[in-house]
Amino acid sequence: MYPKLVVTRILPPDTQARLEELPFELVQWQQDSAMPRDELLRAVKGADALICLLTDKIDTELLDAAGPQLKVIASMAVGFDHIDVEAVKARNIHLGYTPDCLTDATADLTVLLTLAAARRMKEGMLAGANGEWGTWRPTWLCGSQFTRKTVGIIGMGRIGEAVARRLEPFGVKQTLYWGRQQKPDAEKRVVTATFEPDLDTLLSKSDYVIVCCALTPHTREMFTYDKFAKMKKSAIFVNTARGGIVKQDDLIRALQERQIKAAGLDVTTPEPLPTDSPLFHLPNCVVLPHIASATFETRERMASMCVDNVEAAMKNEPLPFKL
């Protein structure tokens, strides 16, 4: 009898073909949508392995439904706020994730989103489509550039550092970063970088505030209206980390009141964001549907790492990408 593997989504084509050749009893959600919770709870019963996404909540209820034979969970994500890590480890279940591989793709899109918000790309595209594009005007749709500006990075991990390195050639004057600790090695690679232990100081000095940290109990809803009020009125706020780091209604208020200049978001609460959300309709907010890692190269690599983790666990070998 083959071990049972549950996969909550169709994987990218190369990895999907590999998956189907493996000696597993494969149970896989075949639709291009999140696997319904009740369906997942039924499917996972008796499973030896599970490949999941960040849209799948891995908690005690699911672990109980699976049963004691569940050996490995491989999450196709770098974040793990959708997983009750303590509950998983308490049952001696191997837990894998996909670190590093999405750093470049996410950093690329973060820079793109920062530029889009700063240069009023949304307003410009709408103006062209709506017939507002008239003769050239010296002050029409003017935004801001990076030259001689201060960038504030919230979380100088792999992605935060990659964003900072990409922005340096634009001529930024200074990169302030905030996090749990100073990163001397990162400062060697990002010559403009300086550790700022006081978040409020970073916010008050930065022309661009870019969120790259993990969602933890410490960072959940850390960006309240009070934090936005400490920023420059010309500041651009960008979040490609997790929507839960921001108190979203407070961000909406800050944008409506022009407390900050503009925002670029790849993550929201909830996801998907309802189409009637003010964020979609504010002229100074660019919203993308959580696509920071959405390159063919990155998604294939993420999926392949999940399969590598499952194969290793089934062979009683250490997981190559262990959380």
Q: Kind of pairing, strands 193-195 and 174-178? A: parallel
Order the strands of the 208-211 sheet from edge to edge.
193-195, 174-178, 150-154, 208-211, 236-239, 262-265, 285-287
What residues contact 153, with CB distance under 8 A and at least 6 apart? 160, 163, 164, 175, 176, 177, 178, 193, 210, 212
Nearest partner of 170 among 187, 155, 184, 190, judged by Cα = 190
What is the identity of the amino acid at 144?
A: S
Q: Is 281 a catalytic residue?
A: no
- What is the CB neighbour count within 10 angstroms for residue 2? 11
Kindly name the residue from 82, 94, 281, 290 that is annotated as catalytic: 290
Residues annotated as part of the active site? 290
